[in-house]
Structure 1
Amino acid sequence: MDTANDVRILMAERCVRDMEKYIGNLRDIKKSGILKDIEAKIMELKYSYGELDDLRPLLSEIRGFCIKILHHLGGDEWSKRLRSMKFSSLAIFHIKFCLNILYNLENRLKLPPYPEYAVDIRIGEVESVIKHSQANRLRICNVNVGKMITVVTNIENVKEGERLAVILLPPVEFFGVVSEGMFLSHQLKDGSPGDIPPLNEEERKNARKEVMKYLR
């Protein structure tokens, strides 16, 4: 496996840098040195050129570091604690995104080595749709992708009950509302919320564009 150029691993590397920016100066995180530890494991992974079976011990260590990071941030109440420390919703969602990328890296490495699989792509069922109060062309959707997320979209005719391909991206704030993903198209999908959907060429192109934009 060409691990040095694998976009899924490059995404994990980028997420470590982002977490350093957001939480690197917190006392417990800084004192533990855990971000340096996880960065070292990602570098070891990146230049291993091993196959997945060979990489599993490293991937297990990375998952363990993610659990320790959550412990240092406050355990089950970590997001509440960060809010009390005046972290923005956008920052908290970004930390959550990065931890998911790192913790579930092994699952992505089981998929084909394409840029779109550097992040999660799931079937999402739209459970509610409302107009954005500050942007008439935007819709705020609660979407079940196996868990509930918010997607802010410019697909004005999106409807409750539709199942669409959703890419889970670094969060973006639209006029005060944080969006955790994007609909890759308005083509309906068969399957259950949380399943990995087959993608058409347009969806694949859109997904790759978003991933590479983040990695630049």
Structure 2
Amino acid sequence: AHQFPTGVVLTPARRAELADWAREVDGLIMEDDYDAEFRYDRHPVGALQGMAPDHVALLGSLSKTLSPAVRLGWIAAPGRWTEALVARDTGGAPPPVIDQDAFSRFLTSGSYDRHLRASRLRYKRRRDRLLRELAAHLPGAAVGGAAAGFHLLLPLRDCPADAVVKEAAGHDVRLASLDDYRTVPEEPGPDASASTLVVGYGNLTDQAVPEAVRRLAAAVERVRGQSV
């Protein structure tokens, strides 16, 4: 539904093809419905697990919706896997029962849904402000992957992303290059996307967005000047 880090959505035809493959070979698909709770500009995409419940294990957690410190997650697995999962010693201490009970009450009372709605609005406002600032300070950049999640992609065709990452880090702006998420760096070419920044905004305050973008734009200009 939202591939990390590109934000690409698998088409309905490809989703159906994947589910058919799992049925044909009696395979098991591990589905992490990434950023399912934080989609802003499109209707939510149904989990693949609903299409093939006997062949898909859906993973989820509270790491982004509440906090990683809560240490609560789940697997919606095919019924034939239940006994094995319950019997499995995964190592480490399980989350406290009191935390599980507290979340159960938070969920069944409707408070979790209200929390998600408020969080979605808050992050959408921050994302919108980030897009406005990028349009003002880096005009013409074809921003991508902004429909969901806490990050977006910023292509920089005329300067290397790695150099911008290093330059920005010297001014307290932490970014990543899309190439950091590849097993093998993409070969240069007319369609290459290696010079692309991954810009996260989950840990930014709304007030910090304009200054962060100004520092980013200045870093881009300095790198461009060095490459001339």
- TM-score normalised by length of structure 2: 0.24
Q: Is the radius of gyration larger for structure 1 or structure 2?
A: 2
- TM-score normalised by length of structure 1: 0.25
| Higher share of residues assigned helix | 1
